[in-house]
């Protein structure tokens, strides 16, 4: 597959800069396996689900992972910006740094008088930081000095740090560790969850700590050469049992939940308790093991996520769906509208 196969023109005006208010007032494009697309709203999601379905949601919580500090130098203190993206052990994080080329092992970065880290290693634009304390020290420092790592395509003044900390967090957020939101779940409200459960749908929580690598562009034309950043995830034994007991479809709320379940599922689609890192890169031709429907936002041209939805619903089908969404002026990306994709057959019958 080639990167150019997944490019399309997107008017900049359709890139959402603010979330829908209320959250479940966002639009929803229904993409069935064949036939016409449905222009609906997120509040119609319960009507698209069926009694006996299981809806899998990601309960990761976004941390204020973006920091600005100073590196001590021989003549002056140089400004350094870092975005933590993967936990590497007690008090240690892998981070994207800018400018990374000026950092070397042993350098100290001061984010505040009470919040300091040392560069352990540099690899291109990434550094491994050892903070001057344990994970509690890091959590307290981020709470006091970090900002929410909003995506780079949100190009507007901050709505106020307190507003972004609330808006860029899902209703299900429970476990600290993500540096990007599982954005499909940003649409959920208590009323929507209640309506889904009243429909006879079980909602199961799993964890995938989304990394900032999700925003990195694909830079190679030959997609076999692209390397995905790994992300840590967990499916508990109880969650696996509830998914295995599903009498209807297993529906993923977001590509993060989908990638985690597909990473954890055996060849026959069954799940057991699973913990570890996943760098699963899904392209057309991938054989889906367990997920049969997907709620997801609209993704960047040429992104690994647009490749994933093209693998899920079909390349031509998704090209047509996105062309329809652009014509109808759906809002794109993290704070944008949603789509509901259905596969033609059950995964077990592939």
Q: What is the CATH number of domain 66-145?
A: 2.40.10.240
CA distance 144 to 148: 12
Model pLDDT for residues 176-213, shown as the tens digit of each residue: 999 999 999 999 999 999 999 999 999 999 999 998 77
Report the alpha-carbon distance of residue 87 to residue 17 in Å, rounded: 29
Percent of the chain with pLDDT over 90: 85
Do 3-62+165-349 and 66-145 agree at the fold level?
no
Residue 348: its pLDDT value, please? 37
Q: At 165, give phi and psi (nearest 5°).
A: -65, -30
- Residues 294-319 have pLDDT tens digits of 999 999 999 999 999 999 999 999 99
Asked whether the beta carbons of 293 and 342 are under 8 A apart, the reply is yes
In degrees, rounded to 5, the angle at the alpha carbon of residue 175 between the alpha carbons of residues 173 and 180 is: 65
Asked if 216 and 96 touch (Cβ cutoff 8 Å), the reply is: no
CA nearest neighbour of 182 among 166, 201, 169, 199: 169
Is residue 85 within 8 Å of 113, Cβ to Cβ?
Answer: no
What band does 336 get if pLDDT is binned at 50, 70 and 90?
very high
CA distance 180 to 160: 18
- Can you read off the two tokens belonging to residue 318? 């998704």
Interval 145-168 mean pLDDT: 78
CB distance 33 to 342 below 8 Å: yes
Q: What are the residue ranges spanned by the domains of the chain?
A: 3-62+165-349, 66-145
For domain 3-62+165-349, the question of CATH label 1.10.3210.10 is answered with no
* SS3 of residue 43 by DSSP: helix
Sign of the Cα pseudo-torsion (303, 304, 309, 310, in order): positive
Amino acid 127: pLDDT: 96
Residue 347 has pLDDT above 60, yes or no: no
pLDDT of res. 71: 92
Instruction: Please answer whether residues 56 and 290 qualify as being in contact, where contact means their C-beta atoms are separated by less than 8 angstroms.
Output: no
Q: What is the pLDDT of residues 275-287, one digit of tens each?
A: 999 999 999 999 9
Q: Quick: pLDDT tens for 50-76.
A: 999 999 999 999 999 999 999 986 555
pLDDT, tens digit, for every residue of 216-262? 789 999 999 998 989 999 999 999 999 999 999 999 999 999 999 99
In the 8-state DSSP scheme, what is residue 15?
A: B
What is the structure's pLDDT at 155?
A: 78
Are 95 and 109 in contact, with CB atoms under 8 Å apart? no
Does residue 18 surpass a pLDDT of 70?
yes
Distance CA(282)–CA(304), nearest Å, equals: 8
């Amino acid at each position: 597959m080639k990167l150019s196969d997944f490019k399309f023109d997107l008017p900049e005006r359709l890139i959402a800069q603010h979330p829908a208010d209320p959250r479940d007032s966002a639009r929803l494009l229904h993409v069935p396996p064949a036939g016409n697309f449905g222009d609906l709203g997120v509040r119609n999601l319960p009507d698209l689900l069926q009694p006996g379905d299981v809806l899998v949601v990601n309960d990761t919580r976004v941390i204020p992972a973006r920091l600005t500090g100073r590196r001590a130098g021989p003549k002056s203190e140089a400004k350094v910006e870092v975005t933590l993206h993967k936990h590497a052990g007690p008090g240690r994080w892998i981070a994207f740094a800018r400018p990374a080329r000026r950092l070397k092992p042993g350098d100290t970065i001061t984010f505040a008088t009470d919040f300091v880290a040392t560069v352990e290693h540099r690899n291109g634009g990434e550094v491994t930081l050892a903070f001057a304390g344990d994970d509690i020290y890091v959590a307290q420092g981020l709470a006091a000095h970090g900002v929410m790592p909003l995506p780079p395509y949100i190009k507007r003044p901050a709505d106020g740090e307190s507003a972004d900390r609330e808006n860029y967090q899902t209703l299900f957020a429970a476990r600290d560790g993500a540096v990007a939101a599982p954005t499909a779940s940003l649409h959920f409200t208590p009323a929507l969850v209640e309506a889904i459960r009243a429909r006879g749908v079980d909602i199961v929580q799993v964890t995938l700590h989304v990394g900032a690598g999700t925003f990195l562009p694909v830079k190679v034309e030959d997609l076999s050469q692209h390397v995905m950043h790994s992300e840590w995830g967990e499916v508990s034994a109880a969650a696996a049992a509830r998914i295995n007991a599903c009498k209807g479809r297993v529906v993923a709320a977001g590509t993060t939940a989908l990638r985690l379940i597909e990473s954890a599922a055996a060849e026959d689609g069954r799940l057991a308790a699973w913990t570890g890192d996943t760098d699963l890169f899904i392209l057309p031709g991938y054989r889906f093991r367990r997920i049969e429907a997907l709620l997801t936002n609209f993704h960047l041209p040429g992104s690994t996520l647009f490749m994933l939805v093209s693998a899920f619903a079909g390349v031509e089908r998704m090209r047509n769906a996105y062309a329809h969404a652009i014509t109808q002026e759906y809002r794109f990306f993290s704070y944008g509208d949603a789509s509901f994709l259905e596969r033609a057959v059950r995964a077990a019958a592939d």
